[in-house]
Amino acid sequence: MISEIFDTLNKTENCKYVDKNTLNDKKFNGYNTIISVDTEISFDSKLIEIKLYICFGEKLEINLPKIFIDKLSYEPLKYVPHINSDLSICIIDESLNFFYSADELPSIVLDFVSKAKAIIRDSENEEYSKQEFTREFQAYWSISYSKDDKCNQNGLALIDHTIDNEVHAILFTGGIGNYRYLIYNDRNLFSKFSDYLRKREIAYIPIPIFQVNYNKEVPPFEITYEDSKQYLGEDSFPDIKKQFNKFKGNDFLIIFKNIQNEYYGWKYSHFEKINGFRNKSNWEKLTSPIIKEKKVDRIKFSEITPNRLTKRTDGVERNLSLSINVIGLGSVGSNLMQFLSKLNFKQINLVDPDILSIENIYRYNYGLNFIHEYKTKVVQYNLLNKNPFLEVNTFEKSIIDLLNNKPSFFSDNDYSFLITGNTRSELYILEYLQETNTDKPLFIIWVEPYMASGQIMYIEPKDIAKAKDLLLNYPHHILKSVENSDKIYLKEGSCQSGYYPYSESYLVLFLSACFPYIYDIIFRNSKNISHTISWYGDINFLNSLELVLKDNINESFTFKVIKNEF
């Protein structure tokens, strides 16, 4: 196939095979075959010669070839949109699912070469270049343009672009991945994020920040210390020299906002004392012969506002307004949280008095590193790790005790999930809601032993009396309790060691099958009615255990979901 590609290219271009060892560049090491193309393009009203390298990996049917421009060809042209720091040319978006068959490669490569030449040729159009640099400012800022130049992608941004508040900065002294800095202008958002940092025991300190003006479409690419001085003028802020000289070293940030309202920044890593010279001020160091050609350390800030992350995930912004209560975080509740955590809630309240013990670790959703922690705290930790802006409140007490101190707990929130697996507490809650005239709906969720079935009751406030009667005489179970009493409740020895067995795999099948119904109630239906959702387990498995099932249950019920109105 390579020879066919070569022959196709050689009809219109001057091509030859290249030994990658002669190129003396590590970036070519991962390629099996390299073809050089010596060609001409029209640039600045004249023909110029350029050299391209077409590089092929091992699996031609999987890996598209990569095209690079030779360094000597690029130097007089730079900077060119869509050419990266390694001089590879961005011809297609590699995130796209670009499907092709291997026999199409000759025409594909020919097209790629044509597009590579067009990218270089079009860069002479100043308006086009500005447009492309503006559109992909972030990509060009993030590129390293020389051995001494680097861009650290270690900044986070909590910036609300709808407000014009002063920007502040902090430096993480603890660990939060590779991130070192955070800038923010919304104190409310920062308060939520700092609360997350406190819970994670991640330390930070505030640091000074200077915001300068930058109104150009083209990014500044490499910036030397001397170059940076042009951005630090009196137009940016008054008394710049005095402020700039207050600091001992690189313990401050310079930031700017481009015309697309994106924030970027840099710091100075070479403000240490210069040996052999009198101690200079920071302002003097910018043009000192010793370090003036040093490159500033550029910083890219990744925006982590809830709106941006939601849109980056869903494709649209969401109005986060709903709040839920989850009462009971055992194996069923903790696994349900894996589903609920993917939804767009503003607030989640967690209620459970128990700590995580070793016995149920196989069907609990979190692992050994959380043993002897409160279940509420384990779930909160994982929720905030996923979304630090989510409001997660925990109550390490029974729901009965909680209601004594917080009687409006149910009415304060939009939906509640009661997952205690205890009929007495479920009836107590239903009676409480009836007495207090609740106006908020309730889910009750439980499972039968061996996951013979999983049951969900969705209860509208007006149907609480019906729900109590239904709960006491529930018709949708499939195990006969009396006949199976010795088989469905197991003990390990002492009188307090009993348990109902069921596997996590069947539990996840139940929750995943029924979760669309929960989603539909919360996010799609405006006129919900009370009903039950029954999921039936593996009937063959239950029969193999010689469990006694209700008369109408047969193999056709396996993994069936049935919805019934009250």
pLDDT averaged over 10-residue windows placed end to end, the chain, 566 residues: 88 90 86 91 84 89 87 87 87 72 84 89 80 80 79 91 90 87 93 90 91 80 85 67 73 86 87 62 80 89 82 64 94 94 92 86 75 92 90 95 94 96 94 95 96 96 96 93 75 59 89 96 86 97 93 94 93
Euclidean distance between CA atoms 143 and 264, whole angstroms: 13
Task: Residue 302: name the closest of 267, 266, 263 by CA.
Answer: 263
Proportion of the chain in helix, strand, coil states, percent, rounded to 5? 35, 25, 45
Dihedral angle over CA of 448, 450, 453, 457, nearest 10: 40
Domains of the chain with bracketed CATH: 1-124 (3.10.110), 150-308 (no CATH), 320-564 (3.40.50.720)
Residues in the chain: 566
Euclidean distance between CA atoms 304 and 188, whole angstroms: 14
Euclidean distance between CA atoms 44 and 40, whole angstroms: 13
Structure tokens at 261: 């309202």
Residue type, 87: L
Taking the CA atoms of the chain, what radius of gyration do you get in angstroms?
32
**pLDDT for the residue numbered 171:** 94
**pLDDT for the residue numbered 191:** 93
Residue 298 near residue 152 (C-beta atoms within 8 A):
yes
**pLDDT for the residue numbered 347:** 95
Euclidean distance between CA atoms 217 and 132, whole angstroms: 9
**pLDDT for the residue numbered 489:** 66
Contacts of 143 (CB under 8 A, 6+ apart): 84, 85, 151
Structure tokens at 295: 């490159």
Would residue 559 be called left, alpha or beta, if left means φ above 0 and alpha means ψ between -120 and 50 degrees? Answer: left
